[in-house]
Structure 1
């Protein structure tokens, strides 16, 4: 076979491989943010369940804000200080609820959620919540398990490590995380962070949109 022909065939083969790789990339990313499937699951989905983690309880009549988050998500990390400011600004006027939504494309997002849930079983969810976001730059986007790092956080927090290890290994802990994720999808969540203010999906375009929505909801209830 002549050299120019070989070169042409090699070029075609490389192009085909690149096209296939691009298609696979698109399909994988679509699956990570796939819309919720229609069916009976969505009809029973609830924004807040009895086992949902409530960071602030504003009491009867308070505006309920629900956040579906991924501890590895950079956007969630960017919203973290905004959320903390909101919690302080509207203390006593809002009930703030956090639910897990670990995206499949983030290697350690589920490990982080499991660590938070294991801490929650010792009534230390909020402490681990803060620790995970404050350290996100340290472990985010790692392509190997950082479960040992999260275990170190648990030790620093003074948790019962025997109980922590047992909770991390218990399939029911993972099931608890998966429950939030699946219910989020049924509610229309496909990315993080996703917020609901008094049951309404928050459409955010600017950084202060969430504050404005909460302020409007609080003012409307007065």
Structure 2
């Protein structure tokens, strides 16, 4: 082999080793960050709405924006995971108000929780999302129409949604979104591990791997 070819081969091998090392380091760093976030309670707060048993083997934390189309698209998959593992999977929602108008809708959801109507109001919001969630100019009156149909006491909700407690929920979740480094929705963590590759299939596989490890 000629000297130039030897140099080229050595260079390519070095580049491959460097790339592999960088990839492994990135993966390790992601695991370290997510684990630390989980240990520091950045992924879940006492006020966070959740579905499923508290002692579930697997906890899915979803950073969720009610105006996010992908969050709406993922909702049936998350429901299916829970339906197939009713005793073993718990879902925690963290509010992520990236879109215009999302903060008001989060306030509606929190007001609905005070009326024990969180889930039906959440589903009404998602079903009617294409009507109200124009990211540049959301029509929140249509969101209110949707939650009224779900049985929400609108007058009481408008009063409750301005409470200091609900404001604190929004502020804490916004702070945790920044601290964890969430930049898009939905972002999922499964038992503190981030979903590395985006997709419903990947979420199911990560949940199943965590279930198998218990």
TM-score by length of 1: 0.72
CA contact (8 A) 1:42 1:183 kept: no
In structure 1, the partner of 2:49 is: 53
The number of aligned residues is 178
Query: Do structure 1's residue 73 and structure 2's residue 68 form an aligned pair?
Result: yes
CA distance in 1, matches of 2:198, 2:147: 36
Q: Deviations over 1:136-195 (max 9, x none)?
A: 111122544533223223322222333211022335423312311211221221211011
Task: Determine the C-alpha separation between the residues in 2 that align with 1:63 and 1:184.
Answer: 21
Listed as ranges, the matches of 1:16-35 within 5 Å are none
TM-score normalised to the size of structure 2? 0.74
Separation of aligned partners in 1, 2:200 and 2:56: 26
1:23-69 alpha-carbon deviations (Å, 9 max, x no partner): xxxxxxxxxxxxxxxxxx99955322221101222x42521111010
Instruction: Report matched runs for 1:79-94 at 5 Å.
Output: 79-94=74-89
Aligned to 2:170: 177
Distance 1:145 1:170 in 2: 23
Alpha-carbon distance, 1:202 to partner: 1.5
Report what 1:151 is aligned to. 144
Greater alpha carbon shift after TM alignment, 159-168 vs 93-102: 159-168
SS at the partner of 1:97?
A: strand
What value does the CA root-mean-square deviation take over the aligned residues?
2.2
Partner of 2:105: 112
Query: What is the CA–CA distance in structure 1 between the aligned matches of 2:184 and 2:155, rounded to whole Å?
Result: 34
Task: State the partner residue of 2:58.
Answer: 63
Q: Which runs of 5+ in 1 are unaligned?
A: 1-40
Ranges in structure 2 where 5+ consecutive residues have no aligned partner:
1-36
1:187 and 2:180 are equivalent in the alignment: yes
Give 3-state SS (helix, strand or coil) of 1:208's partner.
Answer: helix
Matched, 1:140 2:124: no
Matched residue SS, 2:207: helix
Aligned to 1:98: 93
User: In structure 1, the residue corresponding to 2:183 is in which secondary structure?
Assistant: coil
The CA distance in 2 between the partners of 1:215 and 1:42, in whole Å, is 20
Distance 1:155 1:100 in 2: 21
Aligned counterparts of 1:148 and 1:175: Cα–Cα separation in 2:
24
Greater shift in the superposed pair: 152-161 or 93-102: 152-161
